[in-house]
Amino acid sequence: MRGAELKLNKKMKILVIGSSGFIGNYLCDRLSYYGHKVIGLDNKVPVKRDILSEFILGNILNPEVVEKAVKEVEAIVLLAAKHHDFGISKDEFFNVNVRGMENILKCASEAGIMKFIFYSTVAVYGKVETFSTEDTPAVPISDYGKSKLAAEGTLREWVSQEPKREVVIIRPVVVFGPGNFANMYNLIDKIYRGRFIFAGEGQNIKSVAYVENLVEATTFLLERLKPGMEIYNYSDYPQMNTEEIARNIARYLSCEIPKFKIPLGLAMAAASIFDLMGKITGYNFPITANRIKKFNTPTIYMSDKIRKAGFNPPIELSEGFKRMAEWYLQSGKNAQQIRQKDGESES
């Protein structure tokens, strides 16, 4: 059992940067469960402060804050990032995602830290016609993806400066689970409220990852850090198309989805009105032509590499959908007013 294995391993003092975000909360909870001493750094106060040995409120661009956070730390996990697809400029992406990385690595070097895990993104691959693996050339098309790839480059240079440094880069797909108010929440909310209609045929594959599997994958890789740098995609299997995802969710919500489908071109044309209104008003509309296009674009990211290394996700993907649907029914559907604007607190 993984728990029994972990008891044999050395417990560490680990700094989690972005500890108050959706993934950060789950990761800190799991690391604490396994006996590690977890220090949190975020620009937002965490909901679960008791799972942390210490919490530092501050910005990763502030050297004094980071210097304080890295004291006596043995490993760093970096989740903090700018990553929304609306209202963030190219300069903001690079300022936080690249300059932030540079600041953290400078402080890590001064503190003699050798172990580092970085949450990057599959957005570094850009537009890929078939599927992506860790060997697929990274040609990002979004400013977010470009900034994350630049941050990876900064980390790669840091590793090359000291051969004993141990680094893993994790490139996750869309992550979902209880407590998340992003893409999957919006889909669940629309299905529950009877506002979901298929735009397009729904046969395109969308790789997704359940949050508890992702954090278990992170602890798995943390145990196996070794000198040099390794890159791992993370997605859950089986890969499902958008219709399968939507109907799985509807089943757990006890809802029906309309059988008819709107032609994609017509849906895109209608949604472009919201794009125009968003530019004029600055309001982030939940429906835009860009989001409809993304929902209908195949995004197949393979994560065979971590499985070949011995990792077995503990939770079936369908069970992940069930858990999030149950959370939504119990509390999530009434919590729209507390939707997080993640900023630097999530990957």
pTM above 0.85, yes or no: yes
Domain span at residue 125 reads 11-241+296-338
Of the candidates 292, 320, 321, the residue with the CA atom closest to the CA atom of residue 197: 292
- CA of 308: how far to CAs of 202, 302, 304, 312, in Å? 30, 12, 6, 9
In a domain, 78, yes or no: yes
Residue 131: CATH number of its domain: 3.40.50.720
In a domain, 284, yes or no: no
In a domain, 263, yes or no: no
Q: What are the DSSP calls for 108-156, one per residue?
A: HHHHT--EEEEE--GGGG---SS-B-TTS-----SHHHHHHHHHHHHHH
In a domain, 158, yes or no: yes
In a domain, 48, yes or no: yes
Characterize the bridge pairing of strands 174-176 and 166-172: unpaired
How many Å apart are CA 98 and CA 61, to the nearest integer? 10
- Unique residue bearing structure tokens 């400029």: 89
Domain count across the chain: 1
Q: What is the pLDDT along the chain (347 residues), one digit of tens a residue?
A: 343 344 446 899 999 999 999 999 999 999 999 999 999 999 999 887 889 999 999 999 999 999 999 999 999 999 999 876 556 889 999 999 999 999 999 999 999 999 999 999 999 999 887 899 999 999 999 999 999 999 999 999 999 999 999 999 999 999 999 999 988 998 999 999 998 888 878 888 999 999 999 999 999 999 999 999 999 999 999 999 999 999 999 999 999 998 878 877 776 777 787 777 777 887 777 677 777 777 767 789 999 999 999 999 999 999 999 999 999 999 998 876 555 443 333 33
Characterize the bridge pairing of strands 205-206 and 240-241: antiparallel
In a domain, 281, yes or no: no
